[in-house]
Structure 1
Amino acid sequence: MQIKVERIDSANAKAEAKVSASFLSEKQKKMAEEAAKTMKIDGFRKGKVPTHVVLARHGEQIKQDVEQEALRVFLNDALKELDVAMDLVVGEPAITKMDKVDDGLDVEIKISFRPEIDLGEYKALVPEYKNPRILKKDIEERVNTMLKLSAPLKELEEKRAVQSGDFVLIDFEGFIDGVAFEGGKAEKYSLEIGSGSFIPGFEDGIIGMNVGDEKDVKVTFPKEYNSKDLAGKDSVFKVKLQGIQIKDVPKTPSEETLKKLLPGEENPTVETLEAQVKEQLKNEKLTKVFAEEVKPKFVENVLEKMEFALPENIVEQEIDMQVRNIFQNLSEEDIKEYSENPKKITEKREEFRDEATKSVKLTFIVDELAKAEEIKVEDQEVMQMIYFEAMQQGQDPKAYYEHYQKQGVLPAIKMSIIEERLFTQLFSKGK
């Protein structure tokens, strides 16, 4: 096998090979001999099947296997010539030519490698930002919300009509065009007025009712409602108010409440609670600042300042993926038009090149930064996160995880976790 290699740049190379007919013939003979040792064919003892019989029966498959073996040998030899380790190869080598010549092969492949990235003074690329101020009223509002959430419900002692913030116990049944619909009936249903947890207009319709009142509440289901039979439909709910409850919210938390809100604290105090709330609010606001201001500018900075060659095959794969996503939403007529016009497909692919190039470049930068910052995410952590997400949504965790696995998105999920931790760590340092 004669090979010739050419470095295109630090992340890409081209290799050519002339695979002789004798090389293929010898490999084919050896493969047939190996197959003959285990093959069972009537009329021959096991291990005694002549190679010409094996080739007569399975010649085409063996020929394909030999060509694949020739490509593997070619790739290994090319990497030796280039002095590049196999673990630095990224993506599948692209076969740009494979011609049969005089029973041999003329082959050309493009190989891509993990890029060499000089991070330089990357921390200097983190833009300046102001630490968010947490006001005393912000802390008080959050503490009051926590106290309200943890407070028990009690029956309203005074006689008055329903107002926003009350918890009501209601019987109701929904009708469309005078016909009751499935899932539209309940008894002694607890609903917080003003929570926005019911169909728009329903909670407002209950305000002003007194215990024992019955009322028809007219509402329209949202057009994007999850039931197609109800979406966008006008309906009437017959409602009976059974009771009004309110939250018994203390002005200052009791020792028992503090223990609930500060689990693990030996001597929980209001001051400890307020300090924890302040830290929570600060982290929430910082997360927003990082996402909306710091990260976009930092990404812009690293993409501009860090120059390095990109593996071409990875860029092409990213373009393919983005084009596939677009084609999934095209009409049959549009797909037919593209299939009949290859030039139009090429033009469409080029529309995504700039975005795909930036995406691939950022992925390699993030990977290199994560190593520099010693950010690690184990596969077990990804599984636990997906299991937790499934349980929150009332789904079977194992089936939920397997769905992601079949979709092939687990590496992307892992990368997003790494990216989030990386940016949080980078942006938080010194603040």
Structure 2
Amino acid sequence: MQVSVETGDGLTRRLKVELPTEEIEQEIEKRLQNHARSIRLPGFRPGKVPMRLLRQRYGDSMRLEVFSERVEASYPQAIAESELRPAGRPEIEPDLDLAARRYAYVAEFEVLPDVELASLEGRSLARPQVDLTEADVDETIERLRQQRKRWESVERTAETGDRLTVDFDGQVDGEPFEGGRGEEVRIEIGAGRFIPGFEDQLIGASAGDERSVQVSFPETYPQASLAGKPAAFKVKVKTVEAPSLPEVDAEFITEFGVNDGDLERFRADVRANLERERSERIKARVKNQVMDLLLEANPISVPSALVAREVESLRQQMQQQLGGGGAGIELPDELFADNARRRVALGLIVGEVVKANALSPGADRIRSAVEETAASYDDPKAVIDYYYADRERLATVESMVLEDLVVEHVLDQIEVTDEPISFSELASQQ
């Protein structure tokens, strides 16, 4: 077997492989002879068909069969000999010249880039430093009240914060479009869940009113056929409701697990949850900065095959999040491309950091991570058992711990300063 490599654009490689002619032709002859014992042709007894006729009738198909098997068997060996690291499946192009008795093929694929980690000397990041206040507790309790608000019908015009029940019929370029019609749809003015500008044009409407709403779909709208286009909606307002917030009393407090309804105990629980959230957000913020720093310090090309695979993974995740509401919505590659490239690049760089520094998560640290995750559930032991009952589940925790080790390794090499900010600022950064 003779192997040669050509370098194409970027990470593309063309692997040329010439297979041993004698071995292939001997195998073809061997198989034809084996088939000769069982093949039946008119005018010949079993096992008496001339080899010349067998080669004429079955030679080409047998040759392709043997050639395909040799390609499949030789490709991994050729890759190993060439010391290449393919990033995806190859495109195989046969290169056959039967007159010259040449059996060869060309495999084209992308390779993983060589990552040479740059020094992080002189680089820095700011770690948020957040002091929780009673105002943060008050704000959180107010959000909990908002989550449990009730709606009461009102005999007045709609204001920001009200909820309207409407029927609507939309058109683009004078024609109806998929998803442009709705009945008994609830719209909370100011929530920002509809096309920008739609909710604002319902302020001042009363039950029974009909309004004409003119909007434009965002350029980044997931349904590509509607992105950036103006739309006209006829909207009939059926009801107007105002929010009614619950009092922070014993009945309200017991809904959050404080069975005796004690306000101080409730506030202490809220603070404890905020402290846990603060730690998680600070950790995530620092991790994001570390990953940004690694990307900036180590610019690399990424294989398009890996990016395409990551794009598909992100698309499936979004479709799952949308659930039934995502049916029929086009999710173009461009929507995920930048994030996919970032994730692929980080995966390669982080992998090199792990390899270069022999980082490995210990069993104790993995156990601590599992227990920390389980602590927020009603039955922590059941959650711990859940992870340890399946190797793949535990592997996800191991990957997170390994990323934490990478973050710690980077933090040891750079300057870290504390940045005092409020809890609300920290939450808005994520």
Structure 2 length-normalised TM: 0.52
| AA at the equivalent of 2:187 | L
**Contact 1:370-1:418 within 8 A present in 2 as well:** no
| Aligned twin of 1:30 | 30
| Aligned twin of 1:215 | 209
**Aligned: 1:233 with 2:231:** yes
Question: Residue 28 of structure 1: CA displacement?
Answer: 1.9
CA distance in 1, matches of 2:72, 2:408: 47
| Aligned twin of 1:382 | none
Question: Residue 58 of structure 1: CA displacement?
Answer: 1.9
| Aligned twin of 2:377 | none
Helix, strand or coil: the match of 1:250? coil
| Aligned twin of 1:53 | 53
Q: 1:160 to 1:232 in 2, by over 3 A?
A: closer
| Aligned twin of 1:19 | 20
**Contact 1:126-1:294 within 8 A present in 2 as well:** no
Question: Residue 60 of structure 1: CA displacement?
Answer: 1.7
CA distance in 2, matches of 1:195, 1:361: 36
CA distance in 1, matches of 2:93, 2:171: 63
**Contact 1:163-1:208 within 8 A present in 2 as well:** yes
**Contact 1:125-1:302 within 8 A present in 2 as well:** no
Structure 1 residues not aligned, in runs of 5+: 262-266, 305-309, 323-356, 376-415
CA distance in 2, matches of 1:194, 1:360: 37
**Contact 2:152-2:241 within 8 A present in 1 as well:** yes
**Aligned: 1:255 with 2:235:** no
CA distance in 1, matches of 2:93, 2:208: 77
> In the TM superposition, what are the counterparts of 1:133-144 in structure 2 within 5 Å?
133=130, 135-136=132-133, 137-144=135-142
| AA at the equivalent of 1:194 | G
Question: Residue 57 of structure 1: CA displacement?
Answer: 0.8
CA distance in 2, matches of 1:175, 1:96: 51
Give me the identity figure in percent.
18
**Contact 1:219-1:234 within 8 A present in 2 as well:** yes
> In the TM superposition, what are the counterparts of 1:119-130 in structure 2 within 5 Å?
128-130=125-127
| Aligned twin of 2:407 | 427
Q: 2:163 aligns with which of 153, 161, 167?
A: 167
| AA at the equivalent of 1:221 | V
CA distance in 1, matches of 2:175, 2:63: 69
CA distance in 2, matches of 1:277, 1:58: 75
Helix, strand or coil: the match of 1:244? strand
CA deviations over 1:382-424 (Å, ceiling 9, x no partner): xxxxxxxxxxxxxxxxxxxxxxxxxxxxxxxxxx999887545
Q: 1:427 to 1:27 in 2, by over 3 A?
A: same
CA deviations over 1:191-237 (Å, ceiling 9, x no partner): 32221234544543444456xx5434331132457586995233443
**Contact 1:147-1:249 within 8 A present in 2 as well:** yes
**Number of aligned residues:** 326
Helix, strand or coil: the match of 2:242? strand
| AA at the equivalent of 1:19 | P
| Aligned twin of 1:195 | 191
CA distance in 1, matches of 2:247, 2:32: 85
**Contact 1:132-1:286 within 8 A present in 2 as well:** no
| Aligned twin of 2:200 | 204
**Contact 1:28-1:63 within 8 A present in 2 as well:** yes
Q: 1:138 to 1:5 in 2, by over 3 A?
A: same
Helix, strand or coil: the match of 1:130? strand
CA distance in 2, matches of 1:203, 1:14: 59
| AA at the equivalent of 1:257 | E
Q: 1:194 to 1:25 in 2, by over 3 A?
A: closer
CA distance in 2, matches of 1:361, 1:257: 45
Structure 2 residues not aligned, in runs of 5+: 8-12, 310-340, 363-395, 417-430
Q: 1:47 to 1:138 in 2, by over 3 A?
A: farther
| AA at the equivalent of 2:183 | A
| Aligned twin of 1:245 | 242
Q: 1:54 to 1:281 in 2, by over 3 A?
A: farther
CA distance in 2, matches of 1:59, 1:29: 9
Helix, strand or coil: the match of 1:258? coil
